[in-house]
């Protein structure tokens, strides 16, 4: 047995890399809890070895940690296969812990991993630090260090312990953050790995930071971000200026669970430039991020009343927007090329009028009220039938309306999508219900703000003799240039637009981070395949669908469970016609459209169930709503063609 960090000629040459790196850090002056190294060759502690252990025990209990000889390599790690025994308060307990570590050499999992099994393990007997916090750091320069912070509980990380904070170290608001940053730099000067370094640091009760683990990461901790950065570099000038990534940006996947077309990205950039109070939306590699969702904006207007807002929406805003849309569409049918440019400017101004009314009138009218549902008269279906010609499958100018998809004709006789509530509720109507209804019907107003713009792009496609699916690969400025036959227009060939379409398809296969902080992905702390549960538990065959259009064009079989990125408001009319058993979505929270829809339509659901679309179609699954988890009972053959991908 020898002291950790001591140099001696009798040291075994094959000491585990795990403890060897700790020795290196001690010699470099890094704070590592003191301890002694031995092996499991001898489980009986001699009197010679007992003396230093008794001295160590006078400082309090010790922790006994095992490591196999080749643990924590650059490309392979056996972390977690050995034992860690806490709270040993005597030499006898230390001896028993060493025996338990020795017994692990014969464990079935260890034998299967190493093949052949190791014949011994290294053992570190180390002073146990009274833990206030545990910080796990994933450091991979030049990326900012990412951390998970855990409290004083010693639950194993492998058990899925939920951190109290997860994200970039620079975002951690704690007095010790600056010292931790310096410690990470110090460790990286002596421990490295091709994919970065995993560092575990304990903040002791004495306010000292102690390094208890430093090992190479064997997988890329940010693989999706690497792909995302490559996609950002591929962005062209038609998508606007490069986005600023400072501060916190949140993916708006609840409303936009797919990358935006160039046309819609141009509209978002125009909105951000002309409405600084709009929540600072950004399009990053095609995906919509924002600092604040419009519904959460800090609006200076005093809160209104839901009934007043609903009456204004139904009696004033919606009829006016409908007349404007119909008038513009009629004028487009006989418009000359130059007139289409004028109609584009009109449609943009109409969109901004809609947005201003939405922010200044409709959001304050429902602020502070609780979202509710009604199974007798579903709020998520109310009056949808009157707007199937403008409600898009996704919130994008390139998205066809429900009528264009044929959903409108199929639902023409469906009474549940018309009416369902009096035009202007009166009397003792529940204000929470009115506010929820307002939050559903204002989607129609938003759709009427987008529909004229879509009509302009389609009219331009006809005038320019472009395939309709390609015209949305043009920004508004490019559309004007082509219509005006500007000098730059000849470079916008059909092949250029097809290359942009292929770029869009590549982006649809990305898994963008839910949050970005100061140019780095901000980890999500919720576990995979967990979500907001709705309804009773159910079992069935899983089928993955990209979006509402995919659900409609490839109808799931009765009793199947749909997995899809998100449920936008228009999805309610299609789901009401289906006979699926349940639905899982990658995105969405407890107050999302998805939760309301599932409850009102009588579907079981897991909303915000990260990872659900990565399960192959045809797998047998169980939605356990008691625990809020999706369980895979039997996996389908992993045929990539059976799944359309995460988006």
Give the tens place of pLDDT for each residue, 84-115: 999 999 999 999 999 999 998 888 888 888 88
Which residue ranges does the chain devote to CATH 3.50.30.10? 525-642
Burial of 366 (0-12, 13-18, 19+ CB in 10 A): buried
Partner residues linked to 479 by β-bridges: none
Task: Lowest mean pLDDT of 172-186, 231-245, 622-636, name the range.
Answer: 231-245
Give the pLDDT confidence score for residue 200 in this predicted structure: 93
Is the pLDDT at 389 greater than 60? The verdict is yes
Under 8 Å between Cβ of 470 and 503 = no
For the chain, what is the mean pLDDT? 86
Q: What percent of the chain has pLDDT over 90?
A: 50
State the architecture of 525-642 in CATH terms: 3-Layer(bba) Sandwich (3.50)
Confidence of residue 641 (pLDDT cuts 50, 70, 90): very low
Confidence of residue 428 (pLDDT cuts 50, 70, 90): low
Is the pLDDT at 159 greater than 80? The verdict is no
Give the pLDDT confidence score for residue 377 in this predicted structure: 78
Which residue ranges does the chain devote to CATH 3.30.470? 130-220
What average pLDDT does range 236-249 have in this prediction? Answer: 86
Is the pLDDT at 406 greater than 60? The verdict is yes
Confidence of residue 12 (pLDDT cuts 50, 70, 90): very low
β 248-251/515-517 pair status: antiparallel
Give the pLDDT confidence score for residue 414 in this predicted structure: 54
Is the pLDDT at 423 greater than 60? The verdict is no
Burial per residue of 464-496, b for 16 or more beta-carbon CB atoms within 10 angstroms, e otherwise = bebeeebbbbbbbebbbbbbeeeeebeebeeeb
pLDDT digits (tens, 9 = 90+) for 176-230: 999 999 999 999 999 988 888 999 999 998 899 999 999 888 877 677 888 899 9
What average pLDDT does range 341-368 have in this prediction? Answer: 93
Give the pLDDT confidence score for residue 301 in this predicted structure: 61
Tokens matching residue 284: 């990053």
Give the pLDDT confidence score for residue 418 in this predicted structure: 47
Which residue ranges does the chain devote to CATH 3.30.1490.20? 1-128
Give the pLDDT confidence score for residue 10 in this predicted structure: 43
What average pLDDT does range 621-647 have in this prediction? Answer: 76
Give the pLDDT confidence score for residue 127 in this predicted structure: 94
Give the pLDDT confidence score for residue 244 in this predicted structure: 83
Distance in angstroms (rounded) separating the CA atoms of residues 420 and 431:
17
Give the pLDDT confidence score for residue 526 in this predicted structure: 62
Is the pLDDT at 7 greater than 70? The verdict is no
Burial per residue of 214-223, b for 16 or more beta-carbon CB atoms within 10 angstroms, e otherwise = bbbbbeebbe
Instruction: Quickly name the fold that domain 1-128 has.
Output: Dna Ligase; domain 1 (3.30.1490)
Q: Which of 79-88, 103-112, 115-124, 310-319 has the highest mean pLDDT?
A: 310-319
State the architecture of 130-220 in CATH terms: 2-Layer Sandwich (3.30)
Is the pLDDT at 632 greater than 50? The verdict is yes
Q: Which of 80-94, 316-330, 557-571, 575-589 has the highest mean pLDDT?
A: 316-330
């Amino acid at each position: 047995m020898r002291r950790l960090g001591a140099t001696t000629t009798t040291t075994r040459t094959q000491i585990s890399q795990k403890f060897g790196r700790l020795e290196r850090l001690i010699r470099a002056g890094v704070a590592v809890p003191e301890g002694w190294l031995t092996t499991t060759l001898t489980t009986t502690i001699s009197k010679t070895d007992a003396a230093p252990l008794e001295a160590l025990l006078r400082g309090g209990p010790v922790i006994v940690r095992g490591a196999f000889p080749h643990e924590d390599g650059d490309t392979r790690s056996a972390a977690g296969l050995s034992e860690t025994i806490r709270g040993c308060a005597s030499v006898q307990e230390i001896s028993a812990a060493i025996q338990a570590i020795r017994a692990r050499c014969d464990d079935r999992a260890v034998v299967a991993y190493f093949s052949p099994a190791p014949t011994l393990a290294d053992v570190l007997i180390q002073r146990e630090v009274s833990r206030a916090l545990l910080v796990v750091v994933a450091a991979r320069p030049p990326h900012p260090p990412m951390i998970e912070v855990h409290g004083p509980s010693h639950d194993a990380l492998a058990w899925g312990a939920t951190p109290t904070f997860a994200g970039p170290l620079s975002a951690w608001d704690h007095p010790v953050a600056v010292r931790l940053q310096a410690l990470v730099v110090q460790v990286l000067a002596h421990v490295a790995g091709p994919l970065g370094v995993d560092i575990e640091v304990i903040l002791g009760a004495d306010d000292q930071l102690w390094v208890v683990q430093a090992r190479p990461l064997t997988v890329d901790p940010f693989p999706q971000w690497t792909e995302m950065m490559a996609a950002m570099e591929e962005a062209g000038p038609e998508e606007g200026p490069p986005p600023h990534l400072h501060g916190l940006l949140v993916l708006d996947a609840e409303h936009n669970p797919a990358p935006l077309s160039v046309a819609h990205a141009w509209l978002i950039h125009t909105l951000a430039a002309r409405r600084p109070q709009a929540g600072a939306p950004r399009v990053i590699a095609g995906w919509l991020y924002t600092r604040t969702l419009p519904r959460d904006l800090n609006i200076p207007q005093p809160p209104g009343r839901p009934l007043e807002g609903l009456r204004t929406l139904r009696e004033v805003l919606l009829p006016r927007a409908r007349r404007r849309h119909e008038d513009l569409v009629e004028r487009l049918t006989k418009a000359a090329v130059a007139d289409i440019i004028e109609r584009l400017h009109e449609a943009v101004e109409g969109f901004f009028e809609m947005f201003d009314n939405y922010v200044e009138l409709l959001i304050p009218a429902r602020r502070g009220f609780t979202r509710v549902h009604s199974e007798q008269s579903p709020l998520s279906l109310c009056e949808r039938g009157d707007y199937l010609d403008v409600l898009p499958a996704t919130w994008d100018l390139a998205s066809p309306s429900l009528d264009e998809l044929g959903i409108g004709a199929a639902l023409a006789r469906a009474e549940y999508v018309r009416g369902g509530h009096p035009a202007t509720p009166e009397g003792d109507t529940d204000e929470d219900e009115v506010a929820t209804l307002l939050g559903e019907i204002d989607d129609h107003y938003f759709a009427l703000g987008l529909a004229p713009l879509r009509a302009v792009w389609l009219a331009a496609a006809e005038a320019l003799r472009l395939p309709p699916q390609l015209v949305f690969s043009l920004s508004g400025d490019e559309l004007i240039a082509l219509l005006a036959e500007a000098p730059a227009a000849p470079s916008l060939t059909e092949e250029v637009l097809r290359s942009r379409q292929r770029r869009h398809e590549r982006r649809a296969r990305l898994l963008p981070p839910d949050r970005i902080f100061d140019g780095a992905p901000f980890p999500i702390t919720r576990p995979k395949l967990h979500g907001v549960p709705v309804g009773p538990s159910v079992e069935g065959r899983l089928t993955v669908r990209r979006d509402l259009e995919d659900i409609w064009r490839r109808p799931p079989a009765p009793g199947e469970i749909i997995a899809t990125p998100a449920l936008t408001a228009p999805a309610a009319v299609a789901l009401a016609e289906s006979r699926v058993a349940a639905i899982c979505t990658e995105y969405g929270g407890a107050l999302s459209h998805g939760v309301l829809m599932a409850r009102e339509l009588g579907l079981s659901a897991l909303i915000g169930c990260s990872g659900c679309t990565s399960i192959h179609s045809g797998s047998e699954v169980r939605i356990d709503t008691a625990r809020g988890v999706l369980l895979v009972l039997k996996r389908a053959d992993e045929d990539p063609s059976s799944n359309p991908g995460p988006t």
